């Protein structure tokens, strides 16, 4: 092709129409080709270099994620294995039952009390708050107004409570996720660990897994049993059964029946040992026993409508 084009462009004397000798033209074209190849080579090298830099950055990112995951796991395996002190009833001093229908908040002081103690107090003819002797609210409207009043003065528990109410839409307040997040974030900043559990649940529903994980870790290392259970569920979903068992053993030993059942399920599927289950069962039974009292049992038999 090149030869034929060259022949066509050469004049009768062998020179080209513009007077250039064919040999000069060939050399010029060869030089241009060489320059083009050099240019392409340079571009290829730049592309390769770019790819390499991107791969290095990705490697660095993964390495730092791995380091952070290891740091968090170590933190979780060494913290939050016991229920926090404020997870016990201030009247009878027993750890609260995990069934939320068996305890209540008093809006006068925002103290959480087991219904066993409240019932005992009623039986002694005391209708007021067993902790601060504040007046009992007449109805749900007055109850939430009292909580709001305390939240307005910056009471962390009241702010957290309102955040939970906005999340679910109760006491006549419309469910409002933005408001719930705002109040729960504030409560978490003020030191209410339970707020982290609720924030994690909101982010779970919104599919924000990084934020969800961050809040559940914060709650679990402070001894929140539900957050600990959820972390086990996340590992279970990732088929990381060994770590799921580690988390669930901790929450089962804090008396969470769901975690015990989850380990049993893993044992039946061959992903946990008999020793894992036996250890969790012993821990669970001991924790469950600590949460019991005759007053609590009696209160549990009353209809839910008898309480706020
Ligand atoms: Zn109590
Ligand atoms: Zn009170």
30-44 per-position pLDDT tens digit: 998 888 888 888 788
Distance 131 CA to ligand 1 centre (A): 10
CB 92 within 8 A of CB 293: yes
Distance 263 CA to ligand 1 centre (A): 30
At 106, the pLDDT band (50, 70, 90 cuts) reads: very high
- For residue 230, pLDDT beyond 90: yes
Q: Could you say which ligand is closest to the alpha carbon of residue 107?
A: 2
Distance 102 CA to ligand 1 centre (A): 10
Across 11-25, 164-178, 236-250, least confident range? 11-25
At 79, the pLDDT band (50, 70, 90 cuts) reads: very high
pLDDT of residue 1: 41
Instruction: Give the mean pLDDT of the chain.
Output: 91
At 305, the pLDDT band (50, 70, 90 cuts) reads: low
- Rounded to whole angstroms, the Cα distance separating 302 from 274 reads 38
- Rounded to whole angstroms, the Cα distance separating 90 from 246 reads 31
Question: Which one is predicted more confidently, 140 or 195?
Answer: 195
Distance 248 CA to ligand 1 centre (A): 26
Question: Which one is predicted more confidently, 86 or 307?
Answer: 86
At 9, the pLDDT band (50, 70, 90 cuts) reads: very low
For residue range 175-198, what is the model confidence (pLDDT) as tens digits? 999 999 999 999 999 999 999 999
Distance 99 CA to ligand 1 centre (A): 14
- Fold identical between 83-136 and 158-223? no
- Rounded to whole angstroms, the Cα distance separating 87 from 91 reads 12
pLDDT of residue 44: 83
Count Cα neighbours of 85 within 13 Å in the Cβ-side half-sphere.
Answer: 0
At 5, the pLDDT band (50, 70, 90 cuts) reads: very low
Q: Could you say which ligand is closest to the alpha carbon of residue 295?
A: 1
Q: Could you say which ligand is closest to the alpha carbon of residue 134?
A: 2
Which one, of 237, 265, 270, 271, lies nearest residue 252 by Cα?
A: 265
Q: Could you say which ligand is closest to the alpha carbon of residue 292?
A: 1
Distance 95 CA to ligand 2 centre (A): 19
Distance 297 CA to ligand 1 centre (A): 11
Contacts of residue 258, defined as CB under 8 A and 6 or more positions apart, other chains included, come to 229, 251
Q: Given 3.30.40.10, 3.40.50.720, 3.30.300.30, 3.10.129.10, which CATH number is that of 83-136?
A: 3.30.40.10
Which one, of 204, 205, 206, lies nearest residue 231 by Cα?
A: 204
The superfamily CATH assigns to domain 158-223 is: Tetratricopeptide repeat domain (1.25.40.10)
Count Cα neighbours of 148 within 13 Å in the Cβ-side half-sphere.
Answer: 11
- Rounded to whole angstroms, the Cα distance separating 208 from 306 reads 38
Domain locations in the chain as residue ranges: 83-136, 158-223, 225-292
Say yes or no: ipTM exceeds 0.95. yes
Q: Could you say which ligand is closest to the alpha carbon of residue 137?
A: 2
CA distance to 98, 114, 223, 251, 263, per residue, from 256 (Å): 7, 17, 12, 6, 11
Q: Could you say which ligand is closest to the alpha carbon of residue 293?
A: 1
Distance 90 CA to ligand 1 centre (A): 7
- Rounded to whole angstroms, the Cα distance separating 156 from 189 reads 9
Mean pLDDT, residues 208-222: 96
pLDDT of residue 10: 43
The percentage of residues in the chain with a pLDDT greater than 90, rounded to a whole number, is 77
Distance 283 CA to ligand 2 centre (A): 33
Q: Could you say which ligand is closest to the alpha carbon of residue 147?
A: 2
């Amino acid at each position: 092709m090149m030869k034929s084009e060259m022949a066509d462009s050469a004049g009768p004397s062998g020179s080209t129409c513009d007077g250039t000798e064919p040999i000069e033209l060939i050399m010029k074209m060869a030089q241009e080709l060489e320059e083009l190849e050099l240019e392409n080579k340079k571009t290829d090298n730049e592309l390769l270099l770019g790819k390499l830099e991107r791969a290095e950055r990705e490697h660095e990112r993964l390495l730092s994620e791995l380091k952070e995951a290891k740091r968090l796991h170590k933190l979780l395996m060494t913290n939050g294995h016991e229920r926090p002190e404020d997870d016990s009833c201030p009247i009878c001093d027993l750890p609260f039952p995990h069934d939320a229908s068996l305890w209540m908040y008093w809006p006068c002081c925002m103290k959480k009390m087991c219904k066993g103690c409240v019932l005992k107090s009623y039986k002694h003819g005391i209708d007021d708050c067993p902790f601060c002797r504040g007046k009992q609210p007449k109805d749900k409207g007055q109850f939430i107004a009292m909580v709001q009043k305390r939240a307005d003065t910056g009471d962390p528990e009241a702010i957290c409570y309102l955040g939970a109410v906005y999340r679910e839409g109760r006491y006549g307040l419309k469910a409002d996720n933005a408001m719930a997040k705002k109040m729960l974030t504030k409560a978490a900043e003020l030191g209410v660990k339970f707020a982290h559990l609720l924030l994690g649940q909101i982010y779970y529903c919104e599919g924000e897994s990084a934020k969800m994980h961050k809040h559940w870790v914060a709650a679990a290392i402070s001894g929140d049993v539900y957050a600990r259970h959820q972390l086990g569920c996340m590992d279970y979903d990732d088929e990381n059964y060994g770590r799921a068992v580690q988390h669930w053993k901790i929450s089962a030993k804090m008396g969470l029946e769901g975690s015990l059942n989850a380990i049993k399920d893993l044992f039946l599927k061959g992903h946990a040992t008999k020793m894992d289950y036996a250890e969790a069962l012993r821990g669970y039974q001991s924790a469950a026993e600590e949460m019991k009292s005759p007053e609590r049992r009696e209160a549990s038999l009353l209809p839910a409508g008898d309480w706020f």
